[in-house]
Structure 1
């Protein structure tokens, strides 16, 4: 077979092939939207899975430079729309629109997070300072004082939120961190003090029950195999609100650590029942 015969044979074969139907614009857009939502759900799932410190769901990850990364997780799903796409139904923000993800960036929930940070700063003992981030830094860039309000779940038709604050604590050349986290009533966290304490950030450790006044508080005095935190306490108020208070001698790897923790074990237990952290 010469070259000319080969060409003619190929043309004959191509002429016998039925061309595919033209691509529908609507179908293409629908497929693109579905792919977009699948990718978004996948990233949310990966963010939630990476959350080794989910105080029972509060997504926070300490990065190597000490930053607190708080990825959004999956939320409740609404029914598919007319195109077959499924969209996440986040709580409505103060502008009347659904939030972009779990985190509130304005409104009453956001203000609760701001308030919690102020209260956390107020309990740092004398002899320590609480350095602040430069005023021109965005919320995402701050490492010394951070706060967040995050939607956790809808329980019996009621939105359940968590609020977190982190305060850098300095003394001499060392810098550590104090963290306070609060979960709304209606959360699905355990009731028994040490069971509750061992849910914080998914960490485990040597736990003991401390008495603060007339209340029993779970305090992990030593983590087993995770050194992100040194100690933390946990308390469930009678109305169901849960408070965690944690401390660590090291803020991040770029700064020297404190020579000692800011609070004793009894003080850490007392902070968990402190009414200043009893958000309603």
Structure 2
């Protein structure tokens, strides 16, 4: 629109809305001054419109940039700015599948999770077995302690270990084990807990399962622990452990808790009594405390 067309439009409006002038000269003069002020205000309003529009649009343009510096969709004045790119145009985030062991191990397969051998030296496996060691220490009865002792070579007797346990042709599964010295009145024995993740093998009779641990020599009896059947093996001595309990959870996780009155790798004399009774071993081995299923 040109300036002349705008002026003509304003005059047309004024002519249609202004009543016929009075014959009174003072009234005519007053109306003339009022009309002049209106024209000035009209021109001022027209000049301000582009400025106001620019100010109103600026926040929307600025608002279309998210805190991460990504520019979103621009919208018309009065609309809602989109703080992020449209889902139709944005690219999906890249994902990296975690390294894991094969579903059935074959000769020559690499060790899982970047390991150089069966034993995990870092990562979530080590975190889990370290907690298992701490939980075993916490389970020691009050009259005993679980000191941080070392053997004759200076190696700690408190030992957690997580290892990949599958052999060729077996599904992948893991074995977590923790051993601690247990002391009472200057005498030292040991505890060992072992938790094996489900390995695809079916359930077997409790004593048969228990005798698969550490040679299995000794007599076995089935102990009831809150309705759960636990195989408890008691040896005649000569081995590393005097007694252990074994239990298979419903999901296939197998937990073994073993005890011994002696600890060969240190110089202190052996304990004169067992750390746990048979019933206590059975109760602990069925608890969720020592169950690691993955």
TM-score of Structure 1 vs Structure 2, range by shorter chain:
0.5 to 0.7
1:169 lines up with 2:182 in the alignment: yes
| 1:100 alignment partner in structure 2 | 116
* Contact kept? 2:161, 2:177, Cα under 8 Å: yes
Cα distance between partner residues in 2 of 1:179 and 1:141: 20
| 2:253 alignment partner in structure 1 | 241
Higher RCO, 1 vs 2 (CA within 8 Å, ≥6 residues apart): 1
| 2:207 alignment partner in structure 1 | 194
Shift of 1:171: 0.2
Give SS of 2:198's match.
Answer: coil
Give SS of 2:281's match.
Answer: helix
Of residues 111, 121, 127, the one that matches 2:137 is 121
Q: Which runs of 4+ in 1 moved over 4 A?
A: 154-158
Structure (1/2) with the larger strand percentage: 1
Of residues 228, 231, 237, the one that matches 2:240 is 228
Shift of 1:187: 5.2
- TM value normalised by structure 2: 0.59
| 2:111 alignment partner in structure 1 | 90
| Structure 2: runs of 5 or more not aligned | 1-104
- TM value normalised by structure 1: 0.62
Of residues 173, 188, 195, the one that matches 1:182 is 195
Q: How does 1:1-280 map to 2 (within 5 A)?
A: 76-78=106-108, 89-93=110-114, 99-133=115-149, 142-153=155-166, 158-186=171-199, 188=201, 191-223=204-236, 226-252=238-264, 254-280=267-293
Aligned residues: CA RMSD:
2.4
Aligned positions, number: 187
* Contact kept? 1:179, 1:247, Cα under 8 Å: yes
Residues 249 and 151 of structure 1: is their aligned pair in 2 closer, same or farther, counting only changes over 3 Å? same
Shift of 1:278: 1.2
Cα distance between partner residues in 1 of 2:167 and 2:216: 25
Shift of 1:157: 7.8
| Structure 1: runs of 5 or more not aligned | 1-74, 79-87, 94-98
Give SS of 1:153's match.
Answer: coil
Residues 161 and 187 of structure 1: is their aligned pair in 2 closer, same or farther, counting only changes over 3 Å? farther
Cα distance between partner residues in 2 of 1:184 and 1:155: 17
